[in-house]
Chains A and B, each alone.
Chain A
Amino acid sequence: MGLASPPASVEALVAELAPRPSRATRLARHPAALKTASFAAFLLLWELLGRGVDPIMLSYPTAILRAFPPMLASGELPRHTLQSLGPFAGGFGLAVAVGIPLGLLMGRYRPVEYALDWHVHALYATPRVALIPLLVLWFGLGLAVKVAIVFLTAVFPIILATYSGARNVSPQLTETAEAYGARPSQLVRKVLLPATVPYVIAGLRLGVGRAIIGMTLAELFTAVSGLGYLLVTYANSFATDRLFVPIVLLAALGAGLTEGLGWLQRRVAPWKESERQEG
């Protein structure tokens, strides 16, 4: 009598004997709840603060939400979103089409590497947004200048990532393939490309972020079309609730593309993850 019933298992005993977690540790057990609560608190605070100050200085979440439907209905938001997305897709596609082959050639052939690596590093270091006034001179104010700046901001991270990926392919892999009589085309398709893909995707992710920054800056500068144009227009007319709509869209575009590429990386190169765990 007086004895508590014995714990059912060793695990239960261990759990019973373990020191009681501190408050901080107990809180830390619910990361999702804490994160959601934190975000909700941020929105609530913004809402309360935003309603208190002049709407020109700081709008608030519900007002921004209300600004969405009229902008959608007038066709203004869809039109300018497309005028941003179109050149973005074009310029980024071009950067991929040029950057990956060039990076592979540089990683694979030493003369190509030596002929190009100074130029690539120099242009990578040049802040390409500084070129916007020059590009406007060359391409005018239309869509072409956006394609150009997206291409220029995205292509160098892609080249450098592919290049370092291709040169880091273990010689064991390539030599084995060659010893078994692989043709150059097979070597590229079956050994080099798969081994380089994780690097390429890392380059694409870096390129996406920079390309969005470049494109937005070009649109702010030319102020003719696209989400950047909407930013300028609403800022100049002090419509701060509407000003937040393109900001939210651009943030979503950046986060969505980066997350999508991360997902692709896990799908295409799952061995990369497992390799890291073993190491």
Chain B
Amino acid sequence: MERERAAGGVAGAARGPARARVGWTGHALAIRVGSLVLVLAAWEWYGRRVDRIFLSYPTAIARAAWEMSVSGELPAAALTSLASLAAGFCLGIAVGVAVGFLMGRYRPIEYALDPLVNAFYSTPGTAILPLLMLWFGLGVTVKIVIVFAFTVFPVLVNTFIGVRDISAAHVDVARAFGASERQVTFKVLGPAALPFVATGVRLAVGRAIVGVIAGEFFTAMSGLGQLIVASGNAYDTDRLFVPIILLAVGGVGLTRAVEAVEARLARWKLSERAGG
């Protein structure tokens, strides 16, 4: 159950501060930019030599992106995708936090739901796509349900771990001073679990995007996923790359935003760890 969280920490650590070893550090930006320019130049050179159907090249993709933006096609598709993403993701967070909280707070609920959560979490989301299509048809609803199914478990599991691992001393002290269950929930457990919830949300961002794409590939013929499929079917490789790049940029932006929130929420947590 903790696999996503453990590996998420690993991925997060890779972006941590650099080691203190002098020499190459001063050239970091130069090497990075140089490498990026080299790859783009090689792509441009090679892409112009091979058939356009197989591999487009950066300037052609940029031109296609401009045309698609001006015609309004790209913004419309992006908004459609974003709407389903937001609806499904919010639903996933709401249900994940609520159920994860109950599981972390009450042992019987933990034991009752734990096997089911494990079973559903290990089922690849894409495997139940045909079933969801059978149940929810081909419209917007099915996209929202898919995003929900892809995002609810990382949030749920991280909230659960966060609430479960809160030191019993905190709760006991609150109780000794006469805190009600409601006060314990909102003044002790909630704040303590928030950073874990944020971690779960960060891990779910990538899955949410995969969910939207999967939904748009097969069901609702709309949004960025449909743009990808249509461009692929038309062998229009320039246009194929545009939504892919937009999705990548959107994914990075969304992850960074959640990371910023996470860092704010976890600030006291880090200082506590350093003090302990």
State which residues 31-67 of A face B: CB under 8 Å: 31, 34-39, 42, 56-57
Residues of B within 8 A of A86 (CB): none
Q: How far is the CA of A117 from the CA of B39 in the complex (A)?
A: 13
Q: Is the beta-carbon distance between B247 and A126 smaller than 8 angstroms?
A: yes
User: Which residue on A lies nearest to B22, using beta carbons?
Assistant: A110
Q: Is the beta-carbon distance between A217 and B7 smaller than 8 angstroms?
A: no
Q: Is the beta-carbon distance between B32 and A133 smaller than 8 angstroms?
A: no
Can you list, as one digit per residue, whether each of A150-170 has a CB less than 8 Å from chain B (1) or not (0)? 000000010011011101100
Q: Is the beta-carbon distance between B210 and A213 smaller than 8 angstroms?
A: yes
Known pairs A115-B31, A137-B237; A247 contacts B123 (CB<8 A): yes
Q: Is the beta-carbon distance between B14 and A216 smaller than 8 angstroms?
A: no
Q: Which residue of B7, B15, B111, B129 is within 8 Å of A220 (Cβ)?
A: B129
Residues of A within 8 A of B252 (CB): 122, 125
User: Which residue on A lies nearest to B20, using beta carbons?
Assistant: A171
Q: Is the beta-carbon distance between A34 and B125 smaller than 8 angstroms?
A: no
Q: Tally A residues with Cβ within 8 Å of B.
A: 76
Q: Is the CB of B274 closer than 8 A to any CB of chain A?
A: no
Residues of B within 8 A of A56 (CB): 134
User: Which residue on B lies nearest to A123, using beta carbons?
Assistant: B248
Q: Which residue of A38, A119, A124 is within 8 Å of B115 (Cβ)?
A: A38
> Which chain B residues have a beta carbon within 8 Å of chain A's beta carbons?
3-4, 6-7, 10-11, 13-16, 19, 21, 23-25, 27-28, 31-32, 34-36, 39, 53-54, 106-108, 111-116, 118-119, 122-131, 133-135, 206, 209-210, 213-214, 217-218, 225, 228-229, 231-233, 235, 237, 240-241, 243-245, 247-248, 251-252, 255
Nearest 8 CB-CB pairings of A with B: A133-B232, A235-B130, A28-B107, A206-B7, A114-B31, A34-B111, A255-B122, A164-B14
Write 10 A-B pairs (CB below 8 A) sorted by A numbering: A114-B24, A119-B36, A125-B251, A130-B247, A134-B241, A160-B14, A205-B6, A213-B210, A250-B124, A255-B118
